[in-house]
Amino acid sequence: MKIVLAATTNWLLKPFALLLSLIFNGLFAVISGWTTSQALAITIVLFTLIVRLAMMPLMLNQQRSSRRMTRLQPKVQKIQEKYKNKKDPESNQRMQAEIQELYKQNKANPMSGCLPLLIQMPIIFALFEVLRNVPFYVNTIGNLYENLATIVQGQSGYGDILTTNFSTVINGLRKFDVTTNTSVMDLLYHLSRTQWKELIETFGLASNAEFIKDYELVTEYNTFGITSVEALTFNLSEAPGWKGWGILFPLISGGTTFLQSWLSQAATEKRQKMASPDGIADTSQQSMKMMTYVFPIMTLFFTAQMPLGLGLYWIAGNIFAIFSQIISDAIIDREEYKEAVKRRDELAAKKAAQANSKSKVDKATGGRLGAASNAQSKAALSGNKRAALNQQAKQAAALPAEAKEDVVSEIVEEAPEVIENEIAEEVSAAEETFETVEETVTEVAEAAEETAEDVTEALDDVQKEEVSE
């Protein structure tokens, strides 16, 4: 039997359903060759595992981007604070541009968290279509239902009996036509175990060996649960509803959804508190926190009304998602720890280079502010020349007139040059002092700002990783 896509007329859903049917056929062929018991349930679980493993790289990228967004939140808030009182469109555009540039520089994408969900949605809808109409998408099961439908159609008065006894099932089917084999297949697939017994008794098919053989094989394929306990044995094509043990499926589905959401939200809040200067999580995420409680309730009601096979997929998906989150957190924690250590080492090397540079400046200027003492040394040299002239003048007082005139003449000739040189040296020293101090202050300010930022980020990263460890 070839795959029939008549079960759905949705042009968007058809290609996804066809793709899933190809994967399902391959998995089901392997599983059913190994065991017939609960083969469809095992196929669903394996399919879920394959989907989760295929999405693991996307989940890792989403987690990395989410953490970057958390670390950048204080800087985003600073940008928003800068434009707090500016409501004009130009200011808003500049603010958005600055935020986007910040994200770009740090390789953060606010929309990255939507991609895994966008990929899952068509899978969920297509999987719902496949599980709702398994005989039309899985060849092995379809062949069995085709044989069963043919036998039923060979019974006298089958049309009236089906439309009368199973009208509640028929009302939920698409374009049911009792004269077509596909419609009868669709009807048989959606019968509960009680309705199957009624059909077999009504048509007297208990003695039909071919029918009973195919029916028992189909039952083995579609069954899930503890087969030794009838109350805990379920048909994957049925909706669990709110009665009996079937209520376990919506409860477990809602519970695992809540657990996954809660773990994710708790991890996000922890990182927000670590990244926040005041140690408080971002209050703008309250809507996400609300979804931690709303979404599980929606899932609970959704699972109760849908085929049980879809609930099994959701439960298995939640369990795999929890383990995926634990694994991805461990991988990213390790990556961030290595990055933090690398940045710490780079910071230490930068501080050593700055210390070496400071030492060179100290040697050249006599200290970080040594230009002033250097200027004083130059002034002292000039002062020595003046003192020598004064000493010569004192000594000249005791000399004879002719010698005194010669000394005075020499002093008069040298004094202007000494005074001029002294003034020039003082001006030069002052200029040198000003330039050196200005350069030094600028250098110190830039180094201090850069060092403070690096130290803060490095310590934060190391602290986060140590806490995570």
Closest-CA residue to 48 (of 162, 124, 154, 149): 124
Q: Which pLDDT does position 262 carry in this prediction? A: 86
Q: Is residue 86 part of a domain?
A: no
Residues counted in the chain: 469
Q: Is residue 232 part of a domain?
A: no
Cα gap 432→438, rounded to integer Å: 10
Closest-CA residue to 60 (of 99, 113, 19, 5): 113
Query: Do 232 and 304 meet the contact criterion of CB atoms below 8 Å apart?
Result: no
CB-based contacts of 152, cutoff 8 Å, min separation 6: 158, 162, 184, 188, 199, 203, 205
Q: Is residue 371 part of a domain?
A: yes
Cα gap 427→145, rounded to integer Å: 106
Dihedral over Cα of 443, 449, 450, 451: its sign: positive
Q: Is residue 269 part of a domain?
A: no
Residue 455: domain span: 366-468
Q: Which pLDDT does position 209 carry in this prediction? A: 93
pTM for this entry: 0.66
Rounded to the nearest angstrom, the gap between the alpha carbon of residue 221 and the centroid of all alpha carbons in its chain is 38
Query: Do 145 and 39 meet the contact criterion of CB atoms below 8 Å apart?
Result: no
Cα gap 255→315, rounded to integer Å: 9
Start-to-end CA distance of the chain, whole Å, equals 56
Cite the DSSP H helix spans in 35-166.
39-82, 89-105, 114-132, 139-153, 158-165
Structure tokens at 222: 């579609």
Provide the β-strand partners of residue 323. Answer: none
Structure tokens at 264: 């994710």
Phi and psi dihedrals of 308, rounded to 5?
-60, -30
Cα gap 233→219, rounded to integer Å: 11
Query: Do 123 and 129 meet the contact criterion of CB atoms below 8 Å apart?
Result: no
Closest-CA residue to 445 (of 52, 53, 453): 453
Structure tokens at 347: 């910071």
- Provide DSSP, 194-257: HHHHHHHHHHTGGG-HHHHHHHHHHHHHHEEE-TTSGGGEEETTS--TTSGGGGHHHHHHHHHH
pLDDT by residue for the chain (469 residues), tens digit each?
333 333 555 666 777 777 778 888 888 989 988 888 889 999 999 988 888 888 888 778 877 877 777 778 788 888 888 888 877 888 888 888 888 888 888 777 776 666 666 777 777 778 777 777 888 888 899 999 999 999 999 999 999 999 999 998 888 887 889 999 999 998 998 888 889 999 999 999 999 999 999 999 999 998 888 877 777 788 887 878 777 788 888 999 999 999 988 887 777 777 666 655 555 555 555 556 677 788 889 889 888 888 888 889 889 989 998 988 888 888 888 887 888 888 888 888 888 877 776 665 555 555 544 444 444 444 444 455 556 656 666 666 666 666 666 666 666 566 666 565 655 565 555 555 555 555 555 555 565 556 555 555 655 555 555 545 5
Q: Which pLDDT does position 121 carry in this prediction? A: 77
Query: Do 133 and 309 meet the contact criterion of CB atoms below 8 Å apart?
Result: no
Q: Which pLDDT does position 449 carry in this prediction? A: 59
Q: Is residue 410 part of a domain?
A: yes
Cα gap 253→245, rounded to integer Å: 14
Q: Tell me how many domains the chain contains.
A: 1
Q: Is residue 106 part of a domain?
A: no
Closest-CA residue to 222 (of 253, 248, 188): 188
CB-based contacts of 411, cutoff 8 Å, min separation 6: 389, 392, 393, 396
Q: C-alpha angle with apex 178: 236 to 147, nearest 5 degrees? A: 55
Provide the β-strand partners of residue 234. Answer: 224
Q: Is residue 393 part of a domain?
A: yes
**Which residue matches tokens 């469109």?**
89
